[in-house]
């Protein structure tokens, strides 16, 4: 297909597609002449992925470029692959996440997971979040943190599907990245819905002072 057809299939303008090509977010098409190229379904899939990461995941172009590179050259180990997904999805910050995480927060993360987890992208993000909460005057006690962790372990049993062990690396990495981007808002909304349900049960009949 020509770039005009690719634009129609993906609902992305031709100037934007050319920008993706220049930035390395979209692989080049097959040359059909000095100024023409042909594109296929892999380009359709890649454009849709980029749009998902930008529009839903709110990732910067630089971060999307990292995701694309991970997809083109994925790690062999599926566990390392998940780490690559977490690294690609880490929040943008002017400094390294560990720079703002206290020793105490890192120790609390270390107590939750496997050895070295406090140095992983997700572990560092959690340590930073704990530090920020404490600095804002909202201390999260160990019992509450343990309860949340157990709940997230149940979620992770579904997220880390057994089929990932045998899926091609690129497909598994795409699943980890896109699945996380698209379902994080669902998990956040489910927390709000659950809060409504518990609030109605515990506080719904409480008389107004």
Question: 17-34, pLDDT tens digit by residue?
Answer: 999 999 999 998 888 877
User: Residue 100: pLDDT band by 50, 70, 90 thresholds?
Assistant: confident
Backbone angles phi, psi at 90, to 5 degrees: -60, 145
Backbone angles phi, psi at 37, to 5 degrees: -145, 155
Q: What is the dihedral of CA 95, 99, 74, 64, to 10 degrees?
A: -30
User: Residue 95: pLDDT band by 50, 70, 90 thresholds?
Assistant: very low
User: Residue 171: pLDDT band by 50, 70, 90 thresholds?
Assistant: confident
Q: Are 127 and 108 in contact (CB under 8 A)?
A: yes
User: CA–CA separation, 109 vs 111, rounded Å?
Assistant: 5
Question: Which ranges in the chain belong to alpha helices (H)?
Answer: 3-10, 14-23, 41-51, 61-72, 78-88, 103-112, 121-135, 142-159, 169-203
Q: Are 84 and 72 in contact (CB under 8 A)?
A: no
Instruction: Summarize the confidence of residues 55-72 as an average pLDDT.
Output: 83
Enter the tokens of residue 160.
Answer: 């880390």
Instruction: Summarize the confidence of residues 59-83 as an average pLDDT.
Output: 82
Global model pTM greater than 0.85: no
Q: Are 47 and 17 in contact (CB under 8 A)?
A: yes
Instruction: Summarize the confidence of residues 157-183 as an average pLDDT.
Output: 84
Residue 172 has pLDDT above 90, yes or no: no
Query: For strand 30-31 and strand 37-38, is the pairing parallel, antiparallel, or unpaired?
Result: antiparallel
Domains and CATH numbers, the chain: 1-56 (1.10.1660.10), 57-203 (no CATH)
Q: Are 34 and 23 in contact (CB under 8 A)?
A: no
């Amino acid at each position: 297909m020509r770039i005009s057809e690719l634009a129609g299939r993906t609902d992305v303008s031709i100037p934007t597609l050319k920008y993706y090509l220049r930035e390395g977010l979209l692989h080049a098409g097959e040359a059909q002449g000095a100024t023409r190229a042909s594109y296929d379904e892999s380009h359709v899939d890649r454009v849709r992925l980029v749009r998902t990461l930008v529009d839903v995941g709110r990732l910067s172009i630089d971060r999307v470029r990292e995701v694309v590179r991970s997809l083109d050259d994925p790690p062999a180990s599926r566990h390392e692959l998940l780490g690559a997904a977490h690294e690609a999805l880490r929040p943008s910050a002017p400094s390294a996440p560990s720079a703002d995480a206290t020793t105490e927060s890192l120790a609390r993360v270390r107590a939750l997971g496997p050895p070295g987890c406090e140095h992983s992208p997700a572990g560092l993000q959690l340590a930073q979040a704990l530090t920020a909460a404490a600095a804002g005057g909202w201390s999260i006690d160990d019992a509450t943190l343990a309860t949340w962790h157990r709940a997230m372990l149940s979620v992770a049993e579904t997220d880390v599907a057994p089929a990932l062990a045998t899926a091609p690396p690129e497909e598994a990495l795409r699943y980890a990245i896109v699945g996380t981007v698209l379902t994080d808002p669902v998990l956040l909304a489910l927390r709000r819905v659950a809060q409504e349900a518990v609030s109605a049960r515990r506080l719904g009949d409480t008389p107004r002072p």
